[in-house]
Structure 1
Amino acid sequence: MTFQSSEAIAGPGLEAASRATFPFSALIGQPVLQRALLLAAIDPGIGGVLISGPRGTAKSTAARALAALLPPTPAASAAPFVTLPLSASVEQLVGTLNVEDVLRDGRLRLAPGLVARAHGGVLYVDEVNLLPDALVDALLDVAASGVNTVERDGISQQHAARFVLVGTMNPEEGELRPQLLDRFGLSVALANASEAGQRTAIVRARLRFDEDPLGVAEAHADEQARLAAAVVAARAGLARLAWPDAVLQRAAERALAAGVDGMRADLVMLRAARALAAFEGRTEVTTDDVDAVAELALAHRREEGRSGPAPESKPDMRQAAPTPPGSAAASANSSPMGDWGALPPIPEATARVLPEGGWPAKKA
């Protein structure tokens, strides 16, 4: 009896199918998610996209599909898609320096980390809310700046690390701290499909892809090529677009109405609005662009319960009825530590507690 190798059994068709990615243009019912991912792909300086939602809402599928739209890097035929495992260390993420090589032959060598491998592609973090805070901090620093700094024993080295950061989380498993939420540029909250027709369309598309991934890829090849070309053109056109004063004013108004802290929301809104104008091939950024992307930048930064400008603080205009001196109410109001209407302390008699075992009574 003879056995064939696994390569012979698999054949070229199965190998090609295993490399097939669900087309970005074939996603159903996720226009807001698609817009956020495209904006982050056009301008990675936005700071990535945080996708929140229950299981099975195409979070990882959309992230992989985005990588297929990005232009290939000089070192590979396709843009890289790198997954950050929950068990990764900071050294595995940002890399380290081989100081031993300096001592041996005087040359400093960088052992690249995951951010270096993701340069030019997508760095995907599933369940980002379960990562240690130190790891998330380091990751968001590199994603926002596009530069990674590796330091060890007083020696440092920098390299480019420009990638699209996509983080996903299930709110049932815990939330991110507000400080880390603010570091993500855009956010999208997904929900389960609530209409039978939409669920049927999603399931049908997935079953068709599972049965014939190459056929589905070919059916969407033209639309995929159009999107990929639009991303490349938009990246090239970013530098030619400026923000008029009216656009800056609109971003400030939207940020104030949301009650956000700091200026990061304004900056993200402006960069996302510029990316949208570039993607649509326009020559100027408008206030409509700010309105179109505002919720993506504000949803995870908005102060809870805020939907408009913060109310102005006003003094308490309540007039309390005059109270006679020496009364209980007057004593409470005159006390700097007491609340309005509080009762004065009333002395209570105490009884000596007799010891019943345990530590012996202290001798006089």
Structure 2
Amino acid sequence: MARFPFSAIVGQDEMKQALLIAAVDPSVGGVMVFGDRGTGKSTAARALAALLPPITAIENCPYGCSKEESERYPDVCGSGPLRKRAVPFVDLPLGATEDRVVGSLDLERALRSGEKGFEPGLLARAHRGFLYIDEINLLEDHLVDLLLDVAASGENVVEREGLSVRHPAKFVLIGSGNPEEGELRPQLLDRFGLSVEVRTPSEIETRIQIMRLVAERESDPQAFSDKWAGEDEKILRQIARGKARLPKLVPGENLLRDAAELCLAVGADGLRGELTLMRAARALAALKGAKEVKREHLVEIAPSALRHRLRRDVLDETGSGARITRAIDELFG
């Protein structure tokens, strides 16, 4: 069945915006989506990956390297003609072992020829694309640590069983989960760039609209995709323009001060909050076609960039989103 069009997803604007920001600037650091089951978390991530234009990669490279990357990693990439391939979207199953994630010794090759070889893992497959982890709060902590380290460095290093392999692994990490099934450790949650909370729509009209769209797609998937192709094309052009505009946008001193004051006011741990807040505000400005990064961009993206970085206050029972909104009102009016 054809993918569900990204533009046809209804009622989850904050999640869609966070994914688009990550597509414009992957250095934002990935997206964590917490919320109810059946709210379109994986559907939105898959739709965005399928929407993006194909990448150009070395034909027989197991990592999907670009020409420039093959020159940096000649031992693992090799050489060959360039071919178009779809943007990778890789699901990481809960029961995955570390060997399957990072790669391991190629046993078949070792038994057949006696030579040591490397069998690339899921990180290799996700290079230049998306790595999606459903129910990330149930994944073993050491695997989440490993994934976040590789996502930050853009490189996977494997040294085991006499092997020493280094290969590129640049991907947008997207995690999703249901808080009722267990929380992610704050130290790990803080490493994600943006955090989004999704809820089952409470408006009757929205729920009816979703049912209509799903029924329409099930009756004729191709016609449904064709119907929304124009809207998806607009989003694709918006992403392309945002990427082109991003290097030209440099936040001013006043905006840096705004970010620092806001993070201090809400009690965000560490300095990762300010850095992510500015990257996300810059990407949002680029996505919206702005000529400069303004306070309005910072204020709009602040809940997604900061809600998962707040210290718990036993004297304040309000949610993190409400605390951020209150701080914005007090600081900026």
Cα contact 2:134–2:177 (8 A) shared by 1: yes
- Which structure 1 segments of 5+ residues have no match? 1-17, 310-364
Return the offset for 1:209: 1.1
Structure 2 match to 1:169: 177
Matched, 1:84 2:92: yes
Q: Which has the higher helix share?
A: 2
Return the offset for 1:101: 7.5
Mapped to 1, the partners of 2:154 and 2:246 lie a distance apart of 16
Identity of aligned residues (%): 51
Secondary structure of 1:71's match?
A: coil
Return the offset for 1:163: 1.6
Counterpart code for 1:72: P
Matched, 1:221 2:229: yes
Return the offset for 1:127: 0.3
Q: Give the alignment of 1:182-261 within 5 angstroms.
A: 182-261=190-269
Matched, 1:67 2:75: no
Return the offset for 1:52: 0.7
Matched, 1:53 2:35: yes
Counterpart code for 1:293: I
Alpha-carbon distance change, 302 to 218 in structure 1, aligned in 2, over 3 angstroms: same
Mapped to 2, the partners of 1:217 and 1:28 lie a distance apart of 15
Structure 2 match to 1:139: 147
Kindly indicate whether structure 1 or structure 2 has the higher relative contact order, using CA contacts under 8 Å at least 6 residues apart.
Answer: 2
Return the offset for 1:155: 5.2
Return the offset for 1:290: 1.0
Return the offset for 1:118: 1.1
| Divergent runs of 4+, >4 A | 97-102, 104-109
Counterpart code for 2:153: S
Structure 1 match to 2:62: none
Encode CA deviations 1:10-37: one digit per residue, 9 max, x unaligned: xxxxxxxx2x110100011111111001
TM-score after normalising by structure 2: 0.81
Matched, 1:301 2:309: yes
Return the offset for 1:68: 1.5
Structure 2 match to 1:29: 11
Counterpart code for 1:258: V
Q: Give the alignment of 1:124-163 within 5 angstroms.
A: 124-153=132-161, 156-163=164-171
Structure 2 match to 1:180: 188
Cα contact 2:105–2:161 (8 A) shared by 1: no
Secondary structure of 1:29's match?
A: coil
Q: CA RMSD in A?
A: 2.4
Match of 2:125 among 108, 117, 121: 117
- Which structure 2 segments of 5+ residues have no match? 58-83, 328-333
Q: Give the alignment of 1:330-345 within 5 angstroms.
A: none
Alignment: residue pair count:
291
Mapped to 2, the partners of 1:274 and 1:291 lie a distance apart of 12
Mapped to 2, the partners of 1:107 and 1:243 lie a distance apart of 53
Q: Which has the higher strand share?
A: 2
TM-score after normalising by structure 1: 0.74
Mapped to 2, the partners of 1:59 and 1:250 lie a distance apart of 31
Alpha-carbon distance change, 99 to 206 in structure 1, aligned in 2, over 3 angstroms: closer
Mapped to 2, the partners of 1:91 and 1:202 lie a distance apart of 40
Using the TM superposition, name which of 185-194 and 159-168 deviates more: 159-168
Counterpart code for 2:223: G
Counterpart code for 1:46: V
Cα contact 1:93–1:115 (8 A) shared by 2: yes
Mapped to 1, the partners of 2:276 and 2:224 lie a distance apart of 35
Secondary structure of 2:250's match?
A: coil
Secondary structure of 1:86's match?
A: coil
